[in-house]
Amino acid sequence: MRVLITGGAGFIGSHLAEAYLEQGNEVYIIDDLSTGSQDNIKAIQENKAFSNRLFVTIDTILNQNVMMELVGTCDLVFHLAAAVGVRYILENPLASININVHGTEKVLELCAKFKKKVLITSSSEVYGKHLHAPLVETDNIIYGPSSKFRWSYAASKLMDEFTALAYFRTKGLPAIVTRLFNTVGPRQTGAYGMVIPRFVDQALKNEPLTVYGDGRQTRTFTYVKDVVQALMGLMSHEKTAGEVFNIGGTEEITMFDLAKKIIDATGSTSAIEIIPYEKAYEKDFEDMLRRVPSIEKIKSYIGFAPTTDLDTILHKVIEHSRA
């Protein structure tokens, strides 16, 4: 089977590529290396067992000719390429909307043209400012005003979902929508606001761990290889097209407790420094204070439940960062 992964040199994409290569498939990657890197795919490129089955194109998904060729060649399409991370979105507002809305529309249009099954990666951000848990796929969404750009990521991902579902309804495109909650593991960079790699990096340098807001906001974390299993399971299932699925963990933790856990796990001498949101991001920044998924739906379709607990995830990330 030929599998196309847009954003395949990114954190999740590189693990997904590895998993499909391990199963004996051909993997095609397109990535412009904006937040991804050659380092993420170095190990699979250098693995002799994979080298004649891995094809990497360094280009943007907005390049219509290149994408026509790739989508036309492959059997399945995973669309992961996107502007990612709160900090990146705030610093690149226009380019982010362009890639997340226009880029996804182009990918879906080509999948419909060539009749290729496609899975898109939306985000838990689409739920917005909910305080209840767990979040169910059919819940309402609550955003701040358009003057607050942090919501543009959520809104752009929501538009992606509508577009994928509209292609399913009107053109019969087998499109699957996934909402990923915080996914973590080796190769994730802390450079664009991702909390665990940032804390681990600070702890290993014995620098203060900078907790934004009051530290009482909570998140759940899912190990990247568990997420990859979920993505592959949904893609190979016959009845997941036209559906939306949460993919996430269920162990809820405050950012303050997470910082303490990482200090303990690394044996660091770091202190914890509370930084107000307006200093960390921008004036009037709004965060999601709680983000816990219901995973009942994905469980009922493919039996998915995460198998890696937070302590194990932290251990793996710390080992990777040390190395």
Ligand X SMILES: NC(=O)c1ccc[n+]([C@@H]2O[C@H](COP(=O)([O-])OP(=O)(O)OC[C@H]3O[C@@H](n4cnc5c(N)ncnc54)[C@H](O)[C@@H]3O)[C@@H](O)[C@H]2O)c1
Write out the residues near ligand X by the rule CB under 6 A.
6-7, 9-13, 30-36, 60-62, 80-82, 84, 99, 103, 121, 123, 180, 182-183
Question: Min. distance of Cβ 184 from ligand X in angstroms?
Answer: 7
* 153, 167, 192, 281: the active-site residue: 153
Q: Which of 277, 273, 252, 319 is nearest to 90 (CA)?
A: 277
214 — phi, psi (to 5°)? -100, 0
Question: Is the dihedral angle over the CA atoms 194, 256, 227, 322 positive or is it negative?
Answer: positive
Tokens of 131: 């305080």
**163, 105 Cβ separation under 8 angstroms:** yes
82 or 203: whose CB is closer to ligand X? 82
281 is catalytic: no
Is the Cβ–Cβ distance between 123 and 183 less than 8 Å?
A: no
CB of 117 to ligand X, least distance (A): 18
Nearer to ligand X by Cβ, of 71 and 268: the residue is 71
Of residues 208 and 233, the one with the C-beta less far from ligand X: 233
Min CB(172)–ligand X separation in Å: 24
Shortest Cβ 81–ligand X spacing (Å): 4
> Among 107, 102, 156, which Cα is nearest to 5's?
107
What number of CA atoms fall less than 13 Å from residue 86's CA on the CB side?
19
* Residue nearest ligand X (C-beta atom): 36
The DSSP bridge partners found for residue 117 are: 76
Neighbours of 23 (CB within 10 A): 11
> At closest approach, how far in Å is the CB of 134 from ligand X?
16
Residues whose CB falls within 8 Å of the CB of residue 104, separated by 6 or more in sequence, listed in order: 79, 82, 120, 159, 160, 163, 164
Cβ(175)–Cβ(167) below 8 Å: yes
All residues at 6 or more sequence positions from 236 whose CB lies less than 8 Å from its CB, including other chains: none
Cβ proximity to ligand X: between 194 and 259 the closer is 194
Nearer to ligand X, 191 or 271 (CB): 191
Nearer to ligand X, 87 or 148 (CB): 87
Helix (H) or strand (E) holding 313: helix 310-322
| ∠ CA 164-169-175, rounded to 5° | 35
The residues that are catalytic are 153
